[in-house]
């Protein structure tokens, strides 16, 4: 990334703050604009970067731009003057966090790192969090240079998370994502006895809504189309169903909103879920959202060779499934009748 400093200009007469104009290079092609800005405006809180975009203070070729807009070579990006936070002590991620992230690595090669992200750990800092996976990994592996997230997972979602070690690999993997050539498969426990069989859900989602000031995704005709395919794996009576979910797109909260829209919300989801069912499932040891990125399939950057990476369920989720299997009330009515009959013989 390079820019012509002679193109900087004062935002206000006598002000030391400057507007900058950055010209995107071939190395930036295909990158989301929000990621482009976060790289260029290092140290600026993520929430502030998105606020600049919403207010139209960031312009691409003199036009307003969306966070998910893809950067093209030669794009001229207007960066408004921003105040970077003063350096503070303790900004380096804690040693425990660094160890937790490096211990979660399930695959690594010359191009990428795959992590089985623990639930409750954000993929990046922001929104009141100083650090996430990417900051911890950069601190733990400084010899690798500038690592970059290939995609994101919700904070409460566990499982496969890819980090690129080279800009060329990042561009290649982003192209695969845009072209629908990445296979993402999740395991999720949904509330209720799934009755829809093998179901493809294709409805539009609006990702910029606010409920009590908090970001909320909703099914809206004016939103962007999102595709999820659900397949039941194991039934636990009328209480819950273990599902395998393939993503055709990668919208924010996509699986959670599609599952709730179908009438079977993800178990443990406190935003889009069923409060009463969640309380019932806590009796089986479920104390967080049961959604796990189980595997991801890509083509190795720069080759035609397929690469498939998987991440096992954590012990706490396996224990929930074991508890559901053992619990009589989680069984189907027919199974309960057979159990009573066997007990009476």
Just list the catalytic residues. 154
CB distance 290 to 266 below 8 Å: yes
**Contact criterion met (CB below 8 Å) for 110 and 172:** no
Confirm if 188 and 159 have CB atoms less than 8 A apart: no
Nearest CA-CA partner of 165 in 150, 177, 152, 147: 147
């Amino acid at each position: 990334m390079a820019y012509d400093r002679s193109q900087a200009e004062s935002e206000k007469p006598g002000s030391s703050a400057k507007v900058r104009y950055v010209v995107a290079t071939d190395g930036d092609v295909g990158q989301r604009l929000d990621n482009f800005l976060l790289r260029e405006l290092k140290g600026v809180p993520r929430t502030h970067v998105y606020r600049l975009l919403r207010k139209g203070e960031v312009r691409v070729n003199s036009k307003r731009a969306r966070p998910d807009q893809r950067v093209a070579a030669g794009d001229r990006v207007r960066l408004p003057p921003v105040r970077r936070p003063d350096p503070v002590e303790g900004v380096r991620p804690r040693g425990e966090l660094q160890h937790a992230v490096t211990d979660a690595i399930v695959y690594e090669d010359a191009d990428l790192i795959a992590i089985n992200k623990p639930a409750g750990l954000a993929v990046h800092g922001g929104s009141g969090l100083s650090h996430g996976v990417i900051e911890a990994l950069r601190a733990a592996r400084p010899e690798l240079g500038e690592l970059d997230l290939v995609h994101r997972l919700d904070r409460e979602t566990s499982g496969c998370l890819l980090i690129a070690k080279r800009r060329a690999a990042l561009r290649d993997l982003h192209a695969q994502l845009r072209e629908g050539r990445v296979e993402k498969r999740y395991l999720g426990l949904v509330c209720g006895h799934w009755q829809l069989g093998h179901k493809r859900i294709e409805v539009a989602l609006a990702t910029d809504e606010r409920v009590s000031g908090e970001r909320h995704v909703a099914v809206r005709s004016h939103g962007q189309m999102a595709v999820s395919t659900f397949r039941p794996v194991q039934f636990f009576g009328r209480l819950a169903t273990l599902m395998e979910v393939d993503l055709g797109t990668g919208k924010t909260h996509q699986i959670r909103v599609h599952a709730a829209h179908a009438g079977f919300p993800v178990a443990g989801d406190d935003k889009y879920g069923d409060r009463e069912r969640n309380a019932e499932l806590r009796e089986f040891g479920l104390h967080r959202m049961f959604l796990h990125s189980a595997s991801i399939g890509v083509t190795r950057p720069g080759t035609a060779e397929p690469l498939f990476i998987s991440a096992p369920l954590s012990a706490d989720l396996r224990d929930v499934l074991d508890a559901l299997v053992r619990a009589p009330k989680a069984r189907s009515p027919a199974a309960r009748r057979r159990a009573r009959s066997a007990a009476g013989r």
